[in-house]
């Protein structure tokens, strides 16, 4: 996303280009001074983060407020913000935004995102357009701002900021579907805001505009950027099997920035959508093509980069908002805050209701709608667009002040109270099945630890006492939770499916499963988990492959055979994995035999379903004529599983340092298997 000077390019296309390079070249700070200022900001952010944790306020809010107070208090002393308008925009757009967008995209559940793509697109496209129109018309009538200029402000302020939204909602731990809707909308609606902003900026400056050209620009910016990011992300995913953790982490940084800059500054598309496309592509392929060590390294890196970028951004937001400008336009700011909040509600609620009624999407629910409305935060993106307005626009200072006021209001008001709202509505409360499964997991962990100690003939009264206490607490929690009949079947099935999914991922990490097989199995079980979570009626023994996966399999069957892979070998490894996963699920279900408030019929029904799956895998295994190489690879992977389990047990029992156990496990996993992807 850039500052959007709109240039005509043949044949009739628009290019969004940046005028920001002049800002850096004309700066007065030397490089050492820039580094020192950045270091000071990061040190201040760390100190403020510690304070925010003690006072239980979102760190983003504390950073913005402290930055604003520092700018206000330092004004009489001659203190100036480290970045002026142009340089603030460039730092936000090209230095911070690629990190923040990519980190948010890789944190999304890809399958949850595409399952909810319909409502996400409607909220991101139609919702922004409706909100911009409502804000523009109201400001035109209430403040007398010309229609084109009022709509321009509506466009730049209506898109929820993915940076602010993700930072707050990740801290609150909201349910996955609500998080997916909020994050997905905030990531996609930026492209719509860019197009509206660029078109309406021309109109506000008195230049002719074309509706048809605007539609074409939207399609080019939105889908062009997505395609560029997805293409680069796919290339990165293809390289993952040959990259160690450090190489993959380094290349992921290159992917985030290259996709953004190539799409935005070179080709004139949406850099934000390119970063989204690259991040989602990586997130979709990583479970099947990247090792567990690589996924962990990339996850840790991007979590750290996301924190650094967030800390710098929100401090800079506070420092860049002029207190004098806010005081000068206080009346207009108050009107803008009310109008923006009301427009958000009037855009979201009817659209969601219409989707539920006519598109037959799973019900979002009134409580989630309230969180969607109140969670529509604004942040650095809106402020960067406002500061990019040309000086020739008569309302520029007023719009900058109104944008700063709305940003401060949504961060100081919405962000600090959305947690209370979520708790008040009960959105953050786990369901009875979720609490039951958590207690079952604790009980299972205590029993496993006890079994390991007994097998190793270790007697430690302190450890035994802690394990006995943990088991008693878990059993007491299980007895307190009274489940309905359908909830009992739900928890039993979800427990088995979770074990099944872990088995597939582990076998893939240890080299037994090829990437296409891993994707197929993971997608299959994830769909069943989603079905069990939402309806409680999933049948683990009835596997219906989604049409997207069936289409992908048909296309793959028409391609040349992958080097080093034989269809019989793949089928053999898949059958072994299915049988192991079903066996692990059946073993996990044994725990419910000792749980009094789970009806035996629910356990029996789930056990029969997994037994049916195990028999199907056994028949498939008997019908595969696998080569010796495939059998050797499977045997090697199974030996790795056994070695890894033994090392984990030794570490859990305290007989082996965890660091040493981890290194040994990594060495086992790194041994060659002949796997080719």
Question: Which one has a higher pLDDT value, 96 or 643?
Answer: 96
In our burial notation (b when 16+ CB lie closer than 10 A, e otherwise), range 93-112 reads bbebbbbbbbbbbbbbbbbb
Question: Which one has a higher pLDDT value, 518 or 26?
Answer: 518
Look at residue 537 and tell me whether its pLDDT is greater than 70.
no
- Over residues 584-613, the mean pLDDT reads 79
pTM over 0.85? The answer is no
Look at residue 279 and tell me whether its pLDDT is greater than 90.
yes
Question: Which one has a higher pLDDT value, 570 or 338?
Answer: 338
Q: In 355-459, which residue ranges form alpha helices assigned H by DSSP?
A: 366-374, 380-387, 396-409, 415-425, 432-455
- Over residues 471-484, the mean pLDDT reads 78
* pLDDT for residue 628: 58
Question: Which one has a higher pLDDT value, 200 or 672?
Answer: 200
Within 13 Å and on the Cβ side, how many CA atoms surround 342? Answer: 13
Of 283, 294, 180, 176, the residue nearest 244 (C-alpha):
294
Look at residue 22 and tell me whether its pLDDT is greater than 50.
no
What percent of the chain has a predicted confidence (pLDDT) above 90? Answer: 13
Crossing angle of helices 97-107 and 271-289, rounded to 10°? 40
Peptide bond before residue 11 is cis, with ω within 30 degrees of 0: yes
Look at residue 675 and tell me whether its pLDDT is greater than 70.
no
Contact between 427 and 182 (Cβ < 8 Å): no
* pLDDT for residue 598: 74
Look at residue 524 and tell me whether its pLDDT is greater than 60.
yes
* pLDDT for residue 258: 94
* pLDDT for residue 4: 39
* pLDDT for residue 536: 55
- Over residues 494-519, the mean pLDDT reads 80
* pLDDT for residue 257: 94
- Rounded CA separation 662/630 (Å): 27
Look at residue 5 and tell me whether its pLDDT is greater than 70.
no
Instruction: With cut-offs at 50, 70 and 90, classify the pLDDT of residue 676.
Output: very low
Q: What is the pLDDT of residues 309-330, one digit of tens each?
A: 888 888 888 888 888 888 889 9
Most confident of 196-200, 335-339, 486-490: 335-339
Question: Which one has a higher pLDDT value, 95 or 671?
Answer: 95
Question: Which one has a higher pLDDT value, 156 or 439?
Answer: 156
| Average pLDDT, rounded, for the chain | 76
Question: Which one has a higher pLDDT value, 500 or 365?
Answer: 500
Contact between 313 and 92 (Cβ < 8 Å): yes
* pLDDT for residue 18: 38
Which tokens is 423 given? 């708790």
Instruction: With cut-offs at 50, 70 and 90, classify the pLDDT of residue 636.
Output: low
126-to-195, 218, 411 alpha-carbon distances in Å:
13, 13, 24
- Rounded CA separation 317/333 (Å): 17
Question: Which one has a higher pLDDT value, 15 or 143?
Answer: 143
Contact between 558 and 502 (Cβ < 8 Å): no
* pLDDT for residue 15: 38
- Rounded CA separation 193/187 (Å): 11
Contact between 322 and 315 (Cβ < 8 Å): no
- Rounded CA separation 147/154 (Å): 10
Which residues neighbour 441 within 8 Å (Cβ) at sequence distance 6 or greater?
none
Instruction: With cut-offs at 50, 70 and 90, classify the pLDDT of residue 444.
Output: confident
* pLDDT for residue 153: 93
- Rounded CA separation 239/347 (Å): 43
Q: What is the pLDDT of residues 368-409, one digit of tens each?
A: 888 888 888 887 778 888 887 888 888 888 999 999 899 889
Q: What is the pLDDT of residues 249-273, one digit of tens each?
A: 999 999 999 999 999 888 888 888 8
> Which has the minimum average pLDDT: 97-101, 214-218, 311-315?
214-218
Instruction: With cut-offs at 50, 70 and 90, classify the pLDDT of residue 233.
Output: very high
HEC profile for 635-677?
Answer: HHHHHHHHHHHHHHHHHHCCCCCHHHHHHHHHHHHHCCCCCCC
HEC profile for 5-44?
Answer: EEEEECCCEEEEECCCHHHHHCCCCCHHHHHHHHHHHHHH
> Which has the minimum average pLDDT: 358-367, 443-452, 604-613, 661-670?
661-670
Contact between 676 and 564 (Cβ < 8 Å): yes
């Amino acid at each position: 996303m850039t500052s959007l000077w709109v240039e005509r390019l043949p044949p009739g296309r628009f290019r969004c280009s940046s005028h920001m390079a002049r800002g850096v070249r004309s700066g007065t700070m030397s490089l050492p001074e820039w580094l020192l200022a950045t270091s000071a900001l990061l040190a201040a952010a760390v100190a403020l983060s510690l304070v925010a944790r003690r006072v239980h306020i979102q760190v983003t809010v504390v950073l913005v407020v402290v930055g604003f107070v520092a700018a206000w208090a330092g004004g009489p002393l001659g203190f100036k913000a480290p970045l002026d308008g142009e340089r603030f925009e460039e730092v936000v757009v090209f230095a911070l935004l690629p990190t923040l967008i990519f980190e948010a995209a890789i944190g999304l559940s890809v399958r949850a995102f595409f399952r909810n793509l319909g409502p996400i697109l409607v909220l991101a496209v139609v919702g922004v357009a409706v909100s911009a129109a409502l804000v523009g018309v109201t400001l035109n009538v209430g403040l007398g701002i010309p229609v084109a200029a009022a709509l321009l402000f509506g466009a730049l302020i209506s898109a929820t900021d993915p940076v602010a939204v993700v930072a707050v909602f990740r801290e609150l731990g909201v349910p996955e579907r609500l998080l997916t809707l909020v994050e997905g909308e905030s990531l996609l609606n930026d492209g719509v805001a860019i197009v509206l902003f660029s078109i309406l900026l021309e109109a506000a400056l008195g230049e002719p505009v074309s509706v048809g050209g605007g539609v074409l620009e939207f399609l080019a910016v939105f889908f062009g950027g997505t395609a560029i990011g997805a293409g680069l992300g796919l290339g990165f995913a293809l390289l993952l099997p040959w990259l160690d953790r450090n190489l993959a982490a380094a290349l992921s940084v290159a992917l985030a920035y290259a996709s953004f800059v190539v799409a935005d500054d070179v080709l004139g598309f949406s850099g934000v959508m390119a970063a989204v496309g690259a991040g989602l592509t990586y997130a979709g392929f990583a479970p099947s093509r990247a090792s567990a060590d690589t996924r962990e390294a990339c996850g840790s890196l991007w979590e750290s980069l996301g924190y650094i970028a967030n800390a710098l951004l929100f401090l800079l937001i506070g420092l860049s908002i002029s207190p004098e400008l806010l005081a000068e336009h206080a009346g207009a700011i108050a009107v803008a805050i009310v109008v923006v909040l009301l427009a958000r509600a009037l855009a979201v609620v009817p659209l969601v209701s219409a989707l539920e009624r006519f598109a037959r999407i799973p019900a979002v629910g009134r409580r989630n709608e309230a969180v969607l409305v109140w969670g529509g935060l604004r942040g650095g993106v809106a402020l960067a667009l406002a500061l990019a307005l040309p000086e020739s626009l008569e309302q520029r200072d007023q719009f900058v002040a109104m944008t700063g006021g709305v940003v401060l209001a949504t961060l100081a008001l919405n962000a600090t109270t959305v947690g209370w709202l979520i708790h008040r509505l009960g959105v953050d409360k786990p369901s009875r099945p979720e609490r039951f499964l958590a207690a079952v997991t604790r009980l299972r962990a205590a029993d496993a630890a006890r079994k390991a100690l007994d097998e190793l003939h270790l007697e430690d009264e302190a450890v035994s006492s802690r394990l006995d206490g943990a088991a008693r607490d878990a059993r007491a929690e299980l007895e307190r939770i009274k489940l309905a009949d359908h909830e009992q079947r739900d928890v039993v099935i979800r427990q088995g499916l979770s074990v099944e999914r872990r088995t597939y991922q582990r076998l893939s990490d240890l080299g037994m499963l090829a990437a296409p097989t891993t994707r197929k199995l993971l997608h299959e079980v994830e769909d069943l988990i989603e079905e069990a979570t939402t309806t409680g009626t999933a049948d683990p023994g009835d596997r219906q492959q989604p049409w997207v996966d069936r289409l992908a399999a048909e296309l793959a069957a028409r391609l040349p055979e992958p080097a080093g892979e034989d269809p019989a070998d793949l089928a053999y490894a898949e059958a072994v994995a299915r049988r192991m996963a079903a066996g692990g699920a059946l073993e996990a279900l044994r725990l419910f035999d000792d749980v009094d408030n789970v009806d035996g019929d629910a356990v029996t029904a789930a056990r029969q379903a997994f037994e049916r799956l195990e028999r199907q895998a056994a028949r498939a295994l008997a019908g595969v004529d696998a080569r010796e190489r495939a059998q050797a690879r499977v045997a090697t992977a199974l030996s790795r599983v056994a070695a890894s389990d033994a090392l984990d047990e030794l570490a859990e029992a305290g007989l082996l340092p965890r660091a040493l156990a981890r290194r040994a496990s990594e060495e086992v996993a790194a041994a060659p298997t002949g796997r080719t992807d």
